[in-house]
Structure formats: C-alpha cells, structure tokens
Amino acid sequence: MAIYALGEVEPVIHASAFVHPDAVVIGQVVIGANSSVWPGAVLRGDYGRIHVGERTSIQDGTVIHATAECPTIVGDDCVVGHLAHLEGCVIENRSLVGSGSVVLHEVRVGPDATVAAGAVVRNRTVVPPGSLALGIPATIREKLSNPDDIAAGAALYVGNTARYRSELRRLD
C-alpha cells in the first residue's frame, strides 16, 4: 500500500479498514472501521486534516484534499463514487457523493443527502438533509435523495471490503 507519513504526521487507519494497494494515503488522514479506499484514490492530508468515518467507501480515482482552514470530513455509512473530488467540505453521515462530482470548500452535505453524478457543488453551499444536489453549478432539490439506496451502497462496499481482504491477489 502507498501509505506515507509526511514529516512526523502519519495516517491513522483502523485495522478493519481496507486500503487497496494502488490507493495513496498521505499525512493527516484518519480512516474509520470497515471503511474502504479503492484503486487510484488519493487522500492527501498535507495542508489539512481528512477524516473518513466508519463503513464509508472512497471509490476508484477519488481525490480528497483539505486546507489548513477547511478540513475534509466524510461521515459514517457514506458512499463516495468514482472520480469524485472533495476539498475542504463536510459530508455528513449516510450521504452519497456521485461519480465525477466536485464538492468544494465549506460545503456541508447533510445526512441522507445525495450529490448527483457530475454535479459541481460550489463553495459554502449547504445541501440540506435528504436533499439532492445536481447540475453545474449544483441546484438543490429537497427531499429527493433515497436513503435506502445509500444504505444499500454502503453495505455493499463493506461486504466488498471483506471479499477483497480475503481474495485479492496480485498476478505478475
């Protein structure tokens, strides 16, 4: 795995978390129990703090960064889709960030909310609980998120973590 200290600062990764060997985790990063970080994802905690909660998946190609003023926090039971970019934002519990979306500084995505695939959520936007943010720039549609789908996606990746931990083997 590509897990790096930066100076004296080392990532803290729960023993039950899965970090794919082709992911990169640097510096001030915390990854919670039963969470997963998939191939090509980069969590770079060099300027600020990154915290990933429990049972959360950070999928392939996602980039997570932070600033000294704006940590990036992803809650428990979240799904962060492929190629997403999170920077200095808060994603609350049980939320979904769709593939290819961008969530910027001081954004707060409420619990059970969804950022649609390809959406760009601009600085200081609040996505209320249970809402859907979609488009470029994102507009908010209240009460259109589907918490059951988010829960199913989070559970799927917890199971996938166990599968990868036991079955993944490199072929050269």
pLDDT score at 61: 98
Percent pLDDT > 70 in the chain is 99
**Average pLDDT of the segment spanning 81-86:** 98
* Ramachandran quadrant class, 77 (left: phi over 0; alpha: psi -120 to 50; beta: rest): left
- The string of pLDDT tens digits covering residues 110-136 is 999 999 999 999 999 999 999 999 999
- The string of pLDDT tens digits covering residues 8-66 is 999 999 999 999 999 999 999 999 999 999 999 999 999 999 999 999 999 999 999 99
- At residue 37's C-alpha, the angle toward residues 94 and 158, to 5°, is 55
Please give the domain boundaries of the chain with CATH numbers for all domains: 2-167 (2.160.10.10)
Percent pLDDT > 90 in the chain is 98
Q: Per-residue confidence at 90, pLDDT binned at 50, 70, 90?
A: very high
- At residue 43's C-alpha, the angle toward residues 136 and 32, to 5°, is 110
What one-character-per-residue DSSP string does 110-127 give?
A: PTT-EEPTT-EE-TT-EE
Asked if pLDDT for residue 1 goes beyond 80, the answer is: no
pLDDT score at 142: 96
Predicted TM-score of the model (pTM): 0.97
What one-character-per-residue DSSP string does 72-99 give?
A: EEE-TT-EE-TT-EEES-EE-TT-EE-T
Greatest alpha-carbon pair distance for the chain in Å reads 49
